[in-house]
Amino acid sequence: MDIRSALAAQSYARSRPATQPDPAAAAPAGAAGRLATGFADTLRAGESAAAAAVAGRADPHALVQALAASELAVETAVTLRNKVVEAYQELLRMPV
């Protein structure tokens, strides 16, 4: 492993993941909370697999599986968001 990949692995390990919860925020409840927690866990697993791969400790097959699961979770979240926005726009078009 050359010095650049070791430096990248150290920098990645020090950075705060985007999925790390804000300590001041309360945990969401109900089905939406479970979905959000599952989504964050999937992204966190992908990040840890990527960090392990950069450091040379991960199996390439496990990395591909984690990244595929993360990609599927993000695509699902974007599709859900698009459906919600579309429904909101339909409500705005309704006559009062």
State residue 17's pLDDT score.
65
**What is the token pair recorded at 6?**
């070791």
**Closest CA relative to residue 76, chosen from 19, 49, 33, 38:** 38
State residue 42's pLDDT score.
92
pLDDT band at 33 (very low <50, low <70, confident <90, very high): confident
pLDDT band at 11 (very low <50, low <70, confident <90, very high): confident
State residue 90's pLDDT score.
95
State residue 92's pLDDT score.
94
- Per-residue pLDDT, averaged over 34-60, amounts to 89
Q: Is the pTM of this model over 0.75?
A: no
d(CA 39, CA 78) in angstroms, rounded, equals: 12
